[in-house]
Structure 1
């Protein structure tokens, strides 16, 4: 069995794990034990990473390096788990 978190590319797994650990530990624990996220869990990941992204804007409302990393991590998560492949459990 491969857990949801394990499916996130190595490059982005630390940021996803860190943000979830600090903002929604229960969600992180669920994604460490499930093979596939639910639609609700995917939405929660979008909310957490999206909120983190908005905290990292620099001059001219351009994303900082941390913002870019967070945005890319969200994109990688969504690439692994597109909505059309998920069911609401």
Structure 2
């Protein structure tokens, strides 16, 4: 789908995300699908409940988003991308 991570982007980001393990967790290979769902919500500025069903159950994606936030995954991911020179720094995001 338009806006989803390319294979090149996923090759960089995929290994930076934690594996999802546990009795109720979905397998880590769903990380790409879930991340694309998270990016979709951010890109179109819709409520989680309106996330496109292509990405799975909205609540499952939201729960993983919150868990990653609580675990510091987003901060670590951004820090790594900055260190790799893969982000634009010093510019504000356009309105």
Given the two structures, how large is their TM-score scaled by the length of structure 1? 0.37
Higher CA-based Rg: 2
> Which structure would you say has the larger RCO, counting Cα contacts within 8 Å and 6 or more residues apart?
1
The TM-score normalised by the length of structure 2 is 0.36
Considering fraction of residues, name the structure with more helix: 1
